[in-house]
Amino acid sequence: MHKKDFRMRYLHVYVLLFFSMAVQAQRSIHQIRPRIGLTLSGGGAKGLAHIGILKAIDSAGLKIDCITGTSMGAIIGAMYATGYSADSIEKIARKIDWDLLLSNQLSLRNVTMEEKSEYDKYPLELPWVNNWFRISTGFLEGQELWLKFAELFFHVYKIKEFDKLPIPFRCIATDISTGDPVVLDSGELVTAVRASMAIPTIFTAVDYQNRRLVDGGVVRNFPVTDVKKMGAEYVIGSNVTNDLLAPDKVTNVLQVLLQIAFFRESEDTRKEVPLCNVYIPFQMSKYSMASFGETDQIIDLGIQRGRKLYPLFKRLADSLNAIYGTQSLKRELLKEQPVKITVVEVKGLELTSEDFFLHSMDFYRNHVYSVANLLHMVRRAAGTRYYSRVNYALEPLPDGTCKVVFDVSENALTFAKIGLHYDQFNGIAAIFNVTSRDFFTPNSRSLLTINIGDNFRIRGEHLQYFGRLSNFTFTPSIEFDNLSIITYSNYIEAGLYSQDYLKIDGKLDYSTSRNITFGAGGRMEFISYTPSLTSSLEFQGKNNFTTSYVFFKHNTLDRAIFPRRGVKIDAEGDYVFAQNPDVKSHPTGASSDSNFSSEPYQRILFNEEGYLQLSRRASILANSQAGINFNYTNNTMNEFVIGGLVGTFHNQITFAGLREGTIYSPTVAELQLGLRYQIFNNSFITARANILFNNFFTTSSYFSAPDFLSGYAVTFSYNFALGPIEVSAMYCDQSHRVIGYVNIGVPF
């Protein structure tokens, strides 16, 4: 630390002591302790460095009397003002899933089981509004952010005047209609903090006390003036923002918009800095507002800075205690008590009814709810996909019960969705989807998906919900695939087939929770298999059969793409009735009547994938698959197809080391283990190894499959706006070949 910095800090202490003695002399009878104010600037992710300053203040035993903050400074300042210690704020900040909080997504765990397979699948979703599909604004509602604030500040829901918080508090927002700063000192703390951080062009504006508000950083990012107005006679100011970007650093549209948006803020900060008695600037040019991937590093940087300031804060605290006596620094959160809700109000409903909304949450009047209950119910409603945002406020009533006010933003009932996909098996494809709710019948979802490219695929589905909680469903569907399939002999490409596959399906299921469903169904399958280039033993012809089945599904994955924790299980038991094969084999040309069985058989299908998060960046992957056809020796056209890293078609068993369709087998079991590590934001490296067993129950009379396979893959992945890009190198011990594999986007 420079000697000049030390001299300036000691000078501040001496000035305060002189000031305090002067005040004491003038107030010879009544000693009034000078009020210490704290101001925390905005700055997005960089604002997490404020935590280190709070830790130093707590360690020094310095009592803060009033706090102001903007944006991230408002979040951290509000937590400190409501009773959280700096240590507890640090623990919370390190554990938070910032990617989820700062997105328009729910955790996949809160989405209904029937919706999980379609959730977050398409990079472009266009809502049907005013008789046309419109481009989304791209603004973030931040559903999970609202709920995190509701959780963090539940213990002070009764306090509507911010001066009555354990430490008086103000946060700053900007009136979007006038451009004026708005000092928020009363109302719902959750809404006030959310308004203070509504960064223009990123987050939606917030309606608050008859005003539409955005981030206070637009006009006053460092609100020292406001803490002085609260009576602070000595101000500590922590500022994590840097000057406006140099011209050569403004390289995209977002930076241009943000640069323009914060012109006034930069000028205001220059006026606010001289009002501080202790001014703490941070040099954080290597980080940006969006650097939440470096949360730990930013917090550590703040802690290092706080350690250097600790001697100053300690001398200040000791001097005040020597003059005015020791003050109690005991910081306790108000005890969180469940609330009885007797009155409910729902705002914002147009497309759905209040009964439907309350039933989707399983909400009852005159019941007692904890904060965990309320958050669970809100996530239940959002997980139906009818609502883009659901937040709530509690209003105490004279009889000791509460009124809850739900503020809801509805999704459009119809969306057009677009995605792109490429891999070596499917080729390049554009995927178009139209999803509509309540189109044919109330409380339903209908969709049509078309895959246009090297392979043509189409699927239609109608999902009908029943029951108060909509946990019973009936789902009829139809799907047609036309696939070009390469066949292999001794791991070398040997033939090319065209397969037409038609499936007509209907199933009934019951969901016990958002993570478990089971049921039964039946389907009719029609398969046509036509060779273009034949190899030593191939088939030509068609088959059709009817299958009845029971199934069980379990899904606790946290994300649809690159999940980090959770388990997904799909298990199914089938009874395949008598078939109608009309098949000839090559080169013999034998007819189905003399060679191919039409007898019924049974089958089991199982697929499990699990993720265990080791750290913020690393996760272990585990995948097990099994497919068993019983009594299948002379049957055909329902084998399991081995190969590929991404599951894209029916009966596929993925295997790191082989391409799709390399091996066909009636009995398969596979186990895979891997490690994924996030090397940069949205960039991952994954290493995996797998083993596979064939022929342990049934052996095919027509396909030759090795009893054992082992293989490996290393994958580099990047998750960008249009979906994941994955580039892999694979090796199989049995083929002795290294092959490449590319997957772009999410498959049909």
Measured in whole angstroms, how far is the alpha carbon of residue 482 from the centre of its chain? 34
Q: What is the pLDDT of residues 78-119, one digit of tens each?
A: 999 999 999 999 999 999 988 888 888 888 999 999 999 999
Q: What is the pLDDT of residues 33-75, one digit of tens each?
A: 899 999 999 999 999 999 999 999 999 999 999 999 999 999 9
In terms of Cα–Cα distance, which of 216, 256, 221, 257 is closest to 240?
A: 221
Q: Which pLDDT score is estimated for 446?
A: 98
Q: What is the pLDDT of residues 543-596, one digit of tens each?
A: 999 999 999 999 999 999 999 999 999 999 999 999 988 888 765 444 444 578
Residue spans of alpha helices (H) in 330-451: 354-361, 371-382
Poorest-pLDDT segment among 132-146, 194-208, 447-461, 623-637: 132-146
Q: What angle do CA 400, 405, 408 make, to 5 degrees?
A: 160
Token readout for 8 is 């300036």
Q: Which pLDDT score is estimated for 5?
A: 47
How is residue 176 annotated by DSSP? T
Poorest-pLDDT segment among 25-39, 131-145, 331-345, 439-453: 25-39
What does the pLDDT average to over 121-143? 84
Contact yes or no for 117/607 (Cβ under 8 A): no
Q: Is pLDDT at 667 greater than 60 in this prediction?
A: yes
Q: Give 286's pLDDT tier (boundaries 50, 70, 90).
A: confident
CB burial of 208-223 (b: ≥16 within 10 Å; e: otherwise) equals beebbbbbbbbbbbbb
d(CA 461, CA 478): 7
Q: Is pLDDT at 8 greater than 60 in this prediction?
A: no
What does the pLDDT average to over 14-38? 60
Q: What is the pLDDT of residues 485-516, one digit of tens each?
A: 888 888 988 888 899 999 999 999 999 999 99
Q: Give 621's pLDDT tier (boundaries 50, 70, 90).
A: very high
How is residue 120 annotated by DSSP? T
Q: Is pLDDT at 30 greater than 50 in this prediction?
A: no
d(CA 340, CA 91): 30
Q: Which residue has the higher pLDDT, 27 or 165?
A: 165
Compute φ and ψ for 77, nearest 5 degrees.
Answer: -65, -40
Q: What is the pLDDT of residues 299-349, one digit of tens each?
A: 999 999 999 999 999 999 999 999 988 887 777 787 778 999 999 999 999
In terms of Cα–Cα distance, which of 552, 553, 600 is closest to 575?
A: 600
Token readout for 513 is 């929770």
> CA of 724: how far to CAs of 65, 97, 144, 163, in Å?
49, 20, 23, 48
Q: Which pLDDT score is estimated for 531?
A: 83
Token readout for 342 is 């007797």
Q: Give 532's pLDDT tier (boundaries 50, 70, 90).
A: confident
Share of the chain above pLDDT 70, in %: 90
Q: Which pLDDT score is estimated for 74?
A: 97
Q: Give the containing element (helix H, strand E) for 597.
A: none
d(CA 562, CA 676): 9
Average pLDDT of the residues of the chain: 89
In terms of Cα–Cα distance, which of 319, 317, 235 is closest to 279?
A: 235
